[in-house]
Amino acid sequence: MSLKPQVNAGRLLASVAEFAAIGATPAGGVNRQALGVEDRAARRLLAERGLARGFTVFQDDIANLFIRREGRDASLPSLLIGSHLDSQPNGGRFDGALGTLIAFEALEALEDAGIETERAVEVVAFTNEEGSRYAPGCMGSMAFAGAGKVADWEKTQATDGPVLADELAATLAALPEAEIRPTGHAVCAFVELHIEQGPILEREEVPIGVVTAVQGTKWLEVIFSGEAAHAGTTPLEFRKDPMSAAAAAIASLQSAVMPADPDARLTVGRIAAEPGSINVIPRSVTFTVDIRHPDAATLGAMELHVRRECEAAAESRECVVTISRRVDMAPGRFDPAITTAIEEASQALGLKSRPMVSGAFHDALFVSRVAPTAMIFVPCRKGISHNEAEFVSDAHMVCGAQVMLGVVETLASAG
């Protein structure tokens, strides 16, 4: 006779703390960038946990890591749950890791209670969700959904140097216990738990967000090219200064785009000048633009606006501008059957929930193209994320895990 599965709060919180120590940064965050040494250490820890519980561990050719607990009928497509283990360079210890570890806790709770589910349940840690070390983000879930493949990205150079193909090979080789299986196997549904990374749930004192959609994202790389010259001897009329063009374009975009539309997001996160010498007018200036919007047409118009502003700034300073699109993620909607399962699991636990759209992109955005998908959000303090100060309370972690377990019981027992 099987018991009702229960989340083991102590085990979950200890697990979150243990993974937070892998790539820990002095200010309480993590630096566990995709396919690096720390990412491999976290993958190994998760794989060893899975093997210790008698689960099957496997990877695909882009090193998405899967931990599988068998169900009654192996012919049925598995239920997939999980998130990512890679982080931003100065990221928080909950972004991605919490969703992955809460998914693993659901497997352990089923195992502890001796529950035999109808179908297998698999935990996934998708490769390179963040895209900070290697653009684009969501490489693993894109490959899983057939929206990209290793060959598209293998020559990409990391911000710290190594080529993706080499780091990917090292990551696959670091887990010989995990057999390699074909990428993109069939799953009946995917549920990802994640911190909200925004302030709404905390402000409304609601412990569970039922994510119904994800807004669209584009990443542009803008390169202004001018003429390197002496900082001291070159009068204004002789200058072709790409930094002046970049500053004008960024100032114009920052003062127009977000003030004009509360749903629009525009961020210049990285900028670099070449040769980068204090007394040389730069030869070139490169910066990134991250734009987001829930509406696809508006997002397209935002990209045109960025292009036009940059071209005007280049022309007025006798510079040349090239703009390349590094990421183009269309907005996505999640499956009502899965969001209903999350609402019902929350209700059964007496937990308030509210529907919401995700401002961040997630692996679930791509998996939703090939399987019914939805997300569970839990609050994070002041909505702070992509910041070492990222924080989630123990109570919110445990509530999220209980909802995930409830959803897993519903979806995994369905034939």
Please list, in sequence order, all residues whose beta carbon lies within 8 angstroms of the beta carbon of residue 353, skipping any fewer than 6 positions away. Answer: 206, 207, 208, 209, 210, 342, 343, 346, 347
Q: Residue 95 or 202: which CB sits closer to ligand HGY? A: 95
Q: Residue 128 or 212: which CB sits closer to Mn ion? A: 128
Site string for ligand HGY, 305-344 (x = CB under 6 A): ----------------------------------------
Q: Residue 129 or 343: which CB sits closer to ligand HGY? A: 129
- Quick check: 94 binds ligand HGY (CB under 6 A)? no
**Nearest approach, Cβ of residue 95 and ligand HGY (Å):** 6
Size of the site for ligand HGY (CB under 6 A): 5
- Quick check: 130 binds ligand HGY (CB under 6 A)? yes
Q: Residue 141 or 171: which CB sits closer to ligand HGY? A: 141
Position among 39, 86, 95, 343 found at the interface with Mn ion (CB under 5 A): 95
Q: Residue 120 or 404: which CB sits closer to Mn ion? A: 404
Which region, judged by CB under 6 A, interacts with ligand HGY, from 129-137, 178-186, 240-248, 399-407?
129-137
**Nearest approach, Cβ of residue 232 and ligand HGY (Å):** 41
Position among 66, 224, 361, 377 found at the interface with ligand HGY (CB under 6 A): 361
- Quick check: 363 binds ligand HGY (CB under 6 A)? no
**Nearest approach, Cβ of residue 129 and ligand HGY (Å):** 6
Pick from ligand HGY, Mn ion, none: which does 96 bind, CB < 5 to 8 A by kind? Answer: Mn ion
Position among 360, 380, 405, 411 found at the interface with ligand HGY (CB under 6 A): 360
Pick from ligand HGY, Mn ion, none: which does 361 bind, CB < 5 to 8 A by kind? Answer: ligand HGY
Contact positions toward Mn ion, by CB under 5 A? 95-96
Contact positions toward ligand HGY, by CB under 6 A? 129-130, 137, 360-361
